[in-house]
Amino acid sequence: MQDIEKLEQELLEEIGNVTDLDALESLRISALGKKGSISVMMRGLGQMDPTERQEVAPKLNKLKTTVGNAIDEAKSGLHAAALDAKLLQEKIDITLPARPEPMGRIHPISQVMDEITEIFAGMGFNIAEGPDIENDFNNFTALNIPPEHPARQMHDTFYLPEKEDGSRQLLRTHTSTVQIRTMLSQKPPHRIVVPGRTFRSDSDQTHTPMFHQIEGLVIDKISHMGHLKGVLAEFCKAFFELEEVTMRFRPSYFPFTEPSAEMDIRCTFAGDHVKVGEGDDWLEILGCGMVNPRVLEHCGLDPAEYQGFAWGMGIDRIAMLKYGIPDLRAFFDSDLRWLKHYGFVPLDVPTLGGGLSR
């Protein structure tokens, strides 16, 4: 009997000292396994006479249960400790700031669109948008480009398959479509800018089949060419972040404006890239004019009552210009190395107060 109590004491002490699961398992085998100390003693019960067995058996059973329970308890303790250690090792401090390295970049076109819309929003313009897929009326007819007009050929339009009624939808060739959508769906006065994608079947070093424009439209009862010039002058100074940008308006022709002009800004081509704000060269950046009365009529507005101005500007080219990006096609190559070099950190949101570019 001494043996049983002694063994229990010894085993419980050993169990208490075990520090890892493997050691605990060996201990379990040495006590409760087939050849373990307790199992051997249990087997010895067979050779005992009945009275002795009656006395010893319950004690052995108690020993077996006590040791078994102690091992189970130690096991769950060790499991919990192992889990705690693992969790501690994998701990992530979610309050740490995001590291700049693995962060994505904002494409220069998105950045420049944000810069431009921010400037016009600051002047009180609303931002309007329209779909890439358009109908003939919004892209051409309502803009005073009737079916036989030569401007239709000049636009190299992508057409969708003909519908049953013979009409064809198209990919809009300019953002001017949203002038029409706005005038047809809302009451004047209008003061909107429209950034978006545009499409023409044209591809070479300076043209891609998909490109970006931003359109502007002001319709009320008083706005005139002087206001147009003022708005564009303010825009150029803010966008190029210069005190003064010299502009030049050249007479031009667009079916949807009368009179029409193209606007150039002073720059220099000397050196390895174009520099705005100085020099003797001129760079054309947009088309503009007073909205043609026929366009107003197509939208149900009375030209005797309403008037206004509009402009359309390519975004891709002025993004290249502002950020010294040499090749237009690289914009759409999705090359991550290029994006890392020319892209913008997502938190550098352009604002008039905080600065457009940093």
Give the shortest CB-302-to-ligand DAH separation in angstroms: 20
Give the shortest CB-200-to-ligand DAH separation in angstroms: 9
Give the shortest CB-152-to-ligand DAH separation in angstroms: 13
Which of 71/143 has CB closer to ligand DAH?
A: 143
Which of 261/267 has CB closer to ligand DAH?
A: 261
20: left (phi over 0), alpha (psi -120 to 50) or beta: beta
Give the shortest CB-126-to-ligand DAH separation in angstroms: 16
Which of 36/287 has CB closer to ligand DAH?
A: 287
Which of 287/350 has CB closer to ligand DAH?
A: 287
Give the shortest CB-179-to-ligand DAH separation in angstroms: 7
Give the shortest CB-171-to-ligand DAH separation in angstroms: 13
Q: Which residue is nearest to ligand DAH (CB)?
A: 312
Which of 105/174 has CB closer to ligand DAH?
A: 174
Residue type for position 144 = N
Which of 235/342 has CB closer to ligand DAH?
A: 235
Which of 63/291 has CB closer to ligand DAH?
A: 291
Give the shortest CB-176-to-ligand DAH separation in angstroms: 4
Which of 171/288 has CB closer to ligand DAH?
A: 288
C-beta separation of 63 from 5 below 8 A:
no
Give the shortest CB-254-to-ligand DAH separation in angstroms: 4
Beta carbons within 8 Å of 80's beta carbon, 6+ residues apart: none
C-beta separation of 219 from 188 below 8 A:
yes
Buried b (16+ CB within 10 A) or exposed e, 215-247: bbbbbeeebeeeebbebbbebbbbbbeeeebbb
Which of 107/172 has CB closer to ligand DAH?
A: 172
Q: What is the 3-state secondary structure (H, E, C) of the chain?
A: CHHHHHHHHHHHHHHHHCCCHHHHHHHHHHHHCCCCHHHHHHHHHHHCCHHHHHHHHHHHHHHHHHHHHHHHHHHHHHHHHHHHHHHHHCCCCCCCCCCCCCCCCECHHHHHHHHHHHHHHHCCCEECCCCCEECHHHHCHHHCCCCCCHHHHHCCCCECCCCCCCCCCEECCCCCHHHHHHHHHCCCCEEEEEEEEEECCCCECCECCEEEEEEEEEEECCCCHHHHHHHHHHHHHHHHCCCCCCEEEEEEEECCEEEEEEEEEEEECCCCCCEECCCCEEEEEEEEEEECHHHHHHCCCCCCCCEEEEEEEEHHHHHHHHHCCCCHHHHHCCCHHHHHHHCECCCCCCECCCECCC
User: Which is nearest to 3 in space by CA: 33, 35, 44?
Assistant: 44
Using CB under 6 A, list all residues that contact ligand DAH: 174, 176, 215, 254, 257, 287-289, 310-312
Give the shortest CB-278-to-ligand DAH separation in angstroms: 27
Give the shortest CB-260-to-ligand DAH separation in angstroms: 6
Which of 53/229 has CB closer to ligand DAH?
A: 229
